[in-house]
Structure 1
């Protein structure tokens, strides 16, 4: 009788474990690159997002590269690219990345007379 109970218990446990749902997460990735002066918004619809972010200031300004930066799912990020728009200075030449309109990262422009816009590039990986 004990063997029968043990076998039934083992079989029940095996069936429960083998029928349980497994998370089949699929890795997804993408790239955003902004190099036109102005305000650009984007949202990433993924889980567990890690990104490499490269921000370059206008006119040969500061450059920062950050790796494995966690980004939030379904949050509106805004890239403010400093530079020249319609022959006018935009955003005081400052290049910024904002999270829900709160500045997270920013770089200043250089002093050269190159008249180049800033740039933000975001390479991200997440799970669907």
Structure 2
């Protein structure tokens, strides 16, 4: 296995774990997610319905990532990363334009985290173009 494939696999698994963690907490403990996850409570009001829906959406995306990570099938990996970006880019844009309740440190911290959440899948998508595959799977190539 080459280093680029290892990097791609690690990145896909990392995003899988993030989606599972966020999804479970927001779905099963929406109030705790709102109160204790950094920056979430700075844009009120709390809505149990929206928190649970957000958590379930993350769990749905986690399933797509699990399949991509296990199969390492080129199309599935790209679909997972693209689906993630369809959320992450508007999420970043929203937060970049709603920083009025944040301290400077909070605004900088959130901006860094959410920017990385966009740049990582973009980098992984670029990486998929540099890897060869046979029968549609990176592992088979």
Output the TM-score relative to the length of structure 1: 0.28
Q: Which has the larger radius of gyration?
A: 1
Q: Taking CA–CA contacts closer than 8 Å with sequence separation of 6 or more, which of the two structures ends up with the larger relative contact order?
A: 1
Which has the larger helix fraction? 2
